[in-house]
């Protein structure tokens, strides 16, 4: 394996996998919080004596976790995109 290939792996592919791993690690607890928040909102919405303020707070909490999950999922996709660009760069060149 030549130096260019090792440098390409170290500077493009491994950081891509690292970004994906860190984002996935952050996504799992946030997904758990989203599930709990959704269950709380659903339970609260079925209560006949729930106020509009309680429902709005529960919905805002659910939306907050939903946005965080979206952001972390985007980080996972971004990392895989970087890694796949790196892999494509290695395997599409003839001089490597």
Note the pLDDT tens digit of each residue in 20-74: 999 999 999 999 999 999 999 999 999 999 999 999 999 999 999 999 999 999 9
Asked if residue 78 belongs to a domain, the reply is yes
What total number of domains does the chain contain? 1
Say how far apart CA 87 and CA 20 lie, in whole Å.
Answer: 15
The pLDDT assigned to 8 comes to: 85
User: C-alpha distances in angstroms, 83 versus 28, 30, 90?
Assistant: 21, 24, 11
Asked if residue 51 belongs to a domain, the reply is yes
Asked if residue 2 belongs to a domain, the reply is no
Asked if residue 7 belongs to a domain, the reply is no
- Nearest Cα to Cα of residue 87 among 24, 18, 8: 8
Say how far apart CA 5 and CA 85 lie, in whole Å.
Answer: 14
The pLDDT assigned to 89 comes to: 87
Say how far apart CA 36 and CA 42 lie, in whole Å.
Answer: 10
Asked if residue 81 belongs to a domain, the reply is yes
Domain limits for position 28: 15-92
Asked if residue 10 belongs to a domain, the reply is no
């Amino acid at each position: 394996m030549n130096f260019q290939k090792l440098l390409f792996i170290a500077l493009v592919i491994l950081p891509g996998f690292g970004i994906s791993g860190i984002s996935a690690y952050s996504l799992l607890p946030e997904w758990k919080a989203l599930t709990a928040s959704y269950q709380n909102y659903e339970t609260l919405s079925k209560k006949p004596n729930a106020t509009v303020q309680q429902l709005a707070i529960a919905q805002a909490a659910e939306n907050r976790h939903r946005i965080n999950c979206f952001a972390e999922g985007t980080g996972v996709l971004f990392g895989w995109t970087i890694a796949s660009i790196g892999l494509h760069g290695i395997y599409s060149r003839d001089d490597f």
